[in-house]
Homo-oligomer: A and B are copies of this chain.
Amino acid sequence: MPDSHFEEVRSLHLFAGMSDDSYARLMRAAYVQSFPPEVELIAEGESADFLHILVSGAVDLYAEWNGRRTSMATVRPVSTFILAATIRDAPYLMSAVTMEKSRIVMIPSQDVRQVFDEDGDFARAVVVELATCYRSVVKAQKNLKLRTAQERLANFLLRQQQRAGGAAEFDLPFEKRRLASLLGMTPENLSRTLRALQAYGVLVDGARVRIGDQQDLERFARPSPLIDDPAS
């Protein structure tokens, strides 16, 4: 593996606190791979043979049932995904597909479990990572069950605006069809709902969004740290 990735991954919270020894063991059989867009990395139901770490690019986690499909989350660098399945040695609950050209570090699951069994520091880091993932899914579920589609969209836009440094204008980070799926609606409905938010000063042109009156949109969206804060 190139040194640059080696160091980049090392600096992740998950690996930062462990001994050089354990880290070396973890990386011994690990390798980096580059993928073009739209490549299926893992499929729901398969056994979790590798822990994946996204170094660059973007990955969509989705799930399917009975012919339907929904986006569950978007993974951005640098972060791991599907840690829980690796630890539990259980089947993946979600599929993963690259959204763009992506570089991914893959560590054999059995190495992760072995180091996990031997290195308490690593085990503790895994806990913190998992607790964070757990809390973020709980937030996603609250978002789904407590808010209407319009409210979810409004809050999503406000979060995007924050990510854009508070600018009044910014671009949507991915296709609208994927956004619709993430928010739990159809593309058609997203289109209409975006339009409905004009009433709160939202203007959309293609992927470009302009938030005319943040206060007004916030009054409608009522963002809450217990649902919308990415960390915590």
A residues within 8 Å of B by Cβ?
A: 44-45, 63-66, 68-70, 72, 83-85, 87-88, 90-91, 93-94, 116-117, 119-120, 123-124, 126-128, 130-135, 137-142, 144-147, 184, 222, 224-227, 232
Contacts and interface: CB of A to CB of B under 8 A. Distances in A.
A122 B133 CA distance: 20
Contact of A72 (B65, B69, B132, B138): B138
Tallying the copies of this chain within the complex gives 2
B120 A63 contact: no
A132 B134 CA distance: 10
B232 A135 contact: no
A165 to B, nearest CB: 25
A132 B128 CA distance: 14
Contacts of A88: 128, 131-132, 135, 232
A91 B232 contact: yes
Contacts of A141: 72, 137, 140-141, 144
A20 to B, nearest CB: 18
14 contacts: A63-B142, A65-B146, A65-B226, A69-B146, A72-B145, A84-B130, A84-B131, A87-B128, A88-B131, A116-B124, A120-B124, A134-B134, A141-B141, A144-B145
